[in-house]
């Protein structure tokens, strides 16, 4: 890895960063710095512990210092909607900002990412907010499970913050059926009616598929069950048998093999964990800042070594 960092930091080095609280667990610097080196960019990606009441100041500081861009993680993604100067359609559609791109006007007067301008900007800089989390869900399902989502029947477990965006994104991609299961049934009902209102072509219903023999194309866990070793399965196997699903995705990536994924592997399902979501949200952010395709293989292997070590 050392050879990737042979270029020392200089007065010309540009910066991007992730803000969060807590931040020390973040895999983003480990994933982005080798990617920046691979692209031959004299940039560095940093991580800062930023409290919600200091988020505005921290964004202003990055703007003043001509940072290329920022990623935002918990608890900043909603707050940032009010703090940026412009919102990309992705941020308005999904109601959250996880990526900020700083932009200035180029010689033709068009707003251009700072990372794609060679000279320091002469005029004002604006902060534009994007959401790359939602696209990352689709990309992870496509790349890691080989799924194309239109027309699929999905058993969807969870209706919390992450689950809501994932379920809405699946509906936006045209899945045919979403069977929503959640401990708090009222939250699943609310999500089902939001899906029906926004994406009426998707049949959203609450509970397991009525006939347990009904085939499902994908089981997706968006609950936090599986993070801790003592957690129960997020799926009630008396209501649905994994043998009726060819593919199972768990948004949890630590541990790599959750109890649900272990059961699914035993049932001969194709499986993937949520590492791909982390990878693709970062890759899409990098592409927004640089205007170049992200080096996915470098990012994936850096992320895997950071999270799983050499096991
Ligand atoms: P996140 O932002 O990660 O989605 P969240 O909004 O707190 O976090 O959502 C957590 C999800 O895991 C919810 O679907 C939650 O179910 P409830 O809506 O009933 O709270 C689910 N979850 C968490 N702990 C659970 C448990 N012990 N049993 C069943 N579901 C659980």
Q: Which tens digits make up the pLDDT trace of 176-223? A: 999 999 999 999 999 999 999 999 999 999 999 986 567 899 999 999
* Domain boundaries, given as residue ranges, for the chain: 14-131+276-308, 135-273
Pocket lining: 29 vs ligand 1, CB cutoff 6 Å: no
Q: Over 60: is that where the pLDDT of 238 sits?
A: yes
CATH fold of 14-131+276-308 reads Rossmann fold (3.40.50)
Pocket lining: 22 vs ligand 1, CB cutoff 6 Å: no
Write the CA distances from 138 to 27, 133, 251, 293, integer angstroms: 21, 9, 12, 18
Kindly give the interhelix angle for 185-198 and 161-172, rounded to the nearest 10 degrees: 30
Instruction: Write the pLDDT tens digit of every residue in 47-63.
Output: 999 999 999 999 999 99
Pocket lining: 225 vs ligand 1, CB cutoff 6 Å: yes
Expressed in angstroms and rounded, the spacing between residue 252 Cα and the centre of ligand 1 is: 12
Q: Over 70: is that where the pLDDT of 311 sits?
A: no
205: exposed, middle or buried (Cβ count in 10 Å: 0-12, 13-18, 19+): middle
| Backbone torsions φ then ψ of 217, nearest 5 degrees | -85, -30
CATH of domain 135-273: 3.40.50.720
Same fold, 14-131+276-308 and 135-273: yes
Instruction: Write the pLDDT tens digit of every residue in 91-111.
Output: 999 999 999 999 999 999 999
User: Is the CB of residue 277 less than 8 Å from the CB of residue 306?
Assistant: no
Expressed in angstroms and rounded, the spacing between residue 48 Cα and the centre of ligand 1 is: 27
H or E segment to which residue 122 belongs: none
Q: Over 60: is that where the pLDDT of 80 sits?
A: yes
Instruction: Write the pLDDT tens digit of every residue in 149-186.
Output: 999 999 999 999 889 999 999 999 999 999 999 999 99
Write the CA distances from 288 to 19, 20, 110, integer angstroms: 18, 20, 15
Return the pLDDT at 121. Answer: 87
Return the pLDDT at 120. Answer: 85
> Distance (Å, rounded) from C-alpha 81 to C-alpha 114?
20
Given 38, 77, 105, 215, the catalytic residue: 77
For ligand 1, atom 26, the nearest C-alpha belongs to 225
> Distance (Å, rounded) from C-alpha 187 to C-alpha 253?
24
Instruction: For the full predicted model, state whether its pTM sits above 0.85.
Output: yes
Residue among 230, 165, 226 at smallest CA distance from 199: 165
Our measurement of the distance from residue 69's CA atom to the centroid of its chain's CA atoms, rounded to an integer in Å, reads: 16
Instruction: Write the pLDDT tens digit of every residue in 124-133.
Output: 999 999 999 9
For ligand 1, atom 5, the nearest C-alpha belongs to 160
Residue among 293, 301, 290 at smallest CA distance from 16: 290
Return the pLDDT at 212. Answer: 55
Nearby residues of 157 by Cβ (< 8 Å), 6 or more positions away: 163, 181, 182, 219, 220, 221, 222, 223, 234, 235
Pocket lining: 182 vs ligand 1, CB cutoff 6 Å: yes
Phi-psi region of 309 (alpha: psi -120 to 50; beta: other; left: phi over 0): left
Q: Kindly give the number of the ligand 1 atom that is closest to the alpha carbon of 231.
A: 27
Q: Kindly give the number of the ligand 1 atom that is closest to the alpha carbon of 183.
A: 19
Mean pLDDT of the chain: 95
User: Is the CB of residue 232 less than 8 Å from the CB of residue 257?
Assistant: no
For ligand 1, atom 13, the nearest C-alpha belongs to 160
Return the pLDDT at 159. Answer: 96
Q: Over 70: is that where the pLDDT of 12 sits?
A: yes
Expressed in angstroms and rounded, the spacing between residue 285 Cα and the centre of ligand 1 is: 27
Nearby residues of 69 by Cβ (< 8 Å), 6 or more positions away: 16, 99, 100, 101, 102, 113, 114, 115, 285, 288, 289
Pocket lining: 159 vs ligand 1, CB cutoff 6 Å: yes
Q: Over 70: is that where the pLDDT of 85 sits?
A: yes
- Which token pair is 154? 């999905």
- 3-class SS at 169? helix
Expressed in angstroms and rounded, the spacing between residue 185 Cα and the centre of ligand 1 is: 11
For ligand 1, atom 30, the nearest C-alpha belongs to 183
């Amino acid at each position: 890895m050392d050879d990737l960092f042979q270029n020392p930091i200089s007065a010309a080095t540009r910066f991007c960063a992730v803000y969060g609280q807590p931040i020390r667990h973040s895999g983003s610097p480990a994933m982005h710095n080798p990617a920046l080196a691979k692209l031959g960019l004299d940039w560095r990606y940093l991580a800062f512990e930023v409290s919600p009441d200091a988020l505005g100041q921290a964004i202003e500081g990055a703007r003043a210092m001509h940072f290329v861009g920022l990623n935002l993680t918990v608890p900043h993604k909603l707050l940032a909607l009010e703090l940026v100067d412009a919102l990309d359609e992705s941020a308005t559609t999904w109601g959250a900002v996880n990526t900020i791109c700083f932009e200035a006007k180029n010689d033709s007067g068009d707003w251009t990412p700072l990372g794609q301008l060679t000279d320091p900007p002469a005029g004002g800089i604006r902060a534009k907010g994007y959401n790359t989390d939602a696209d990352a869900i689709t990309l992870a399902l496509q790349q890691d499970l080989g799924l194309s989502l239109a027309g699929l029947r999905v058993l969807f477990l969870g209706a919390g913050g992450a689950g809501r965006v994932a379920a809405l994104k699946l509906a936006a991609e045209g899945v045919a059926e979403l069977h929503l299961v959640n401990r708090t049934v009222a939250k699943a009902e609310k999500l089902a009616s939001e899906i029906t209102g926004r994406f009426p072509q998707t049949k959203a219903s609450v509970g397991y598929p009525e006939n347990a023999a009904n085939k499902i194309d994908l089981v997706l866990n968006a609950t936090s069950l599986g993070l801790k070793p003592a957690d129960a399965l997020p799926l009630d196997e008396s209501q649905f048998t994994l043998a009726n699903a060819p593919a199972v995705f768990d948004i949890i990536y630590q541990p790599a093999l959750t109890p649900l994924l272990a059961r699914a592997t035993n049932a001969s399902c194709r499986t993937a964990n949520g590492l791909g979501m982390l990878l693709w949200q970062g890759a899409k952010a990098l592409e927004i800042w640089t205007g170049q395709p992200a080096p996915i293989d470098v990012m994936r292997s850096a992320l895997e070594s950071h999270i799983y070590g050499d096991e």
